[in-house]
Amino acid sequence: MSMNYREHRYTSHDGLSLYYRQYGTGDHAVLCLPGLTRNCKDFEGLATNLSADYRVITPDLRGRGQSDRDPNWKQYLPPTYVRDTWTLMDELGLERVSIIGTSLGGLMAMIMANQQPQRLRSVVLNDIGPEVPVAATVRLLEYVGRTPPQPDWASAAELNRKNYEIAYPDEAQAFWDRQARAAWRQREDGQVLPDYDPAIGDSARRVAKLGGLIRLLQRFGVRRLQGINLDPWDNFNSMDMPVLVLRGAHSDILTTDTLEKMRRARPQLEVVEIPGRGHAPTFEEAPARAAIGRFLAAV
């Protein structure tokens, strides 16, 4: 085990045992929230880098990595993950944090900024905005929870390369080996499979089907349901803390159109484009590291 971090567990409101890592110490805590099918390993390099100056916490959301799977797959939803995150912050006695959120993690940060803005010092949105194009959503939903087990690590790395080469062009084999080790796990029979509950895909597809109903409610003037805004733009527009957006230069999740709308809504928004990247930058890129370092120091 790496000596960069300490491993811990906490219990969710509904009794699940959830895993997180802590790097470094200090008064300024940074909470790193991963993408839909990812886990805390995505932040290992960045968290190690930041731990000289900050206390960095990297959780596995329920159903991912070393956290328990939810017996009720319909609870795999952003409001549930947000509730878990507040529980973790309360457990650690964290009154205020900076959040670095990739994709789903960024959507969570927007919800949190709307619910308890006083507890967010600043937010880094990694390749996500309040709007995701339909085509990109369809692309994601086609594979989430449907990736077959692979016979070994080399096959997993090769499948990863095939699926994501468009987002990370010109990367050497070592990159794909690292990506596989971060997002996959090995079973006792030797087979290697994605390190998350496949039911997360079922939940995401169910939410997509409910999209029409949500739009209908919005047309009738319903803006909130069970304390959550139905329109993610309402969450984004309520963010009054400093926000940095990282965008992969050829991302299909955070388009230039959406980014322009975000800038119009929030002229003080700080934006850094990461060249040679789609969805999503990995935080290993020098411009991403430099931007996050500057942003957190200024806050």
Say what the pLDDT of residue 3 is.
67
Considering Cα of 173, then 178, then 182, then 184, what sign does the dihedral take?
Answer: positive
Digitized pLDDT (tens) for each residue of the chain, 299 residues in all: 446 999 999 999 999 999 999 999 989 999 999 999 999 999 999 999 999 999 999 999 999 999 999 999 999 999 999 999 999 999 999 999 999 999 999 999 999 999 999 999 999 999 999 999 999 999 999 999 999 999 999 999 999 999 999 999 999 999 999 999 999 999 999 999 999 999 999 999 999 888 777 777 778 888 887 778 888 999 999 999 999 999 999 999 999 999 999 999 999 999 999 999 999 999 999 999 999 999 999 99
The owner of tokens 């499948």 is 159
Say what the pLDDT of residue 20 is.
98
Give the integer Cα–Cα distance in Å for 265 and 199.
36
Structural domain total, the chain: 1
pLDDT tens per residue, range 59-94: 999 999 999 999 999 999 999 999 999 999 999 999
Give the integer Cα–Cα distance in Å for 289 and 293.
6
Look at residue 147 and tell me if it is in a domain. no
pLDDT tens per residue, range 235-283: 999 999 999 999 999 999 999 999 999 999 999 999 999 999 999 999 9
Q: Which pTM value belongs to this model?
A: 0.96
For 208, half-sphere exposure in the C-beta direction (CA atoms, 13 angstrom radius) is 18
Look at residue 283 and tell me if it is in a domain. yes
- Residue 55 belongs to a domain with what CATH number? 3.40.50.1820
Other Cβ atoms less than 10 A from the Cβ of 264: the count is 9
Which residue range is the domain that position 287 belongs to?
Answer: 5-132+223-298
For residue 244, give the nearest of 108, 136, 44, 106 by alpha carbon. 106
Look at residue 208 and tell me if it is in a domain. no
Look at residue 16 and tell me if it is in a domain. yes
Q: Alpha helix (H) ranges present in 104-255?
A: 104-115, 134-143, 153-164, 173-183, 199-209, 211-219, 232-237
SS3 label, residue 70: coil
Look at residue 204 and tell me if it is in a domain. no
DSSP 8-class letter at 98: E
Give the integer Cα–Cα distance in Å for 176 and 53.
30
Say what the pLDDT of residue 1 is.
43
Look at residue 239 and tell me if it is in a domain. yes
Q: Are 157 and 173 in contact (CB under 8 A)?
A: yes
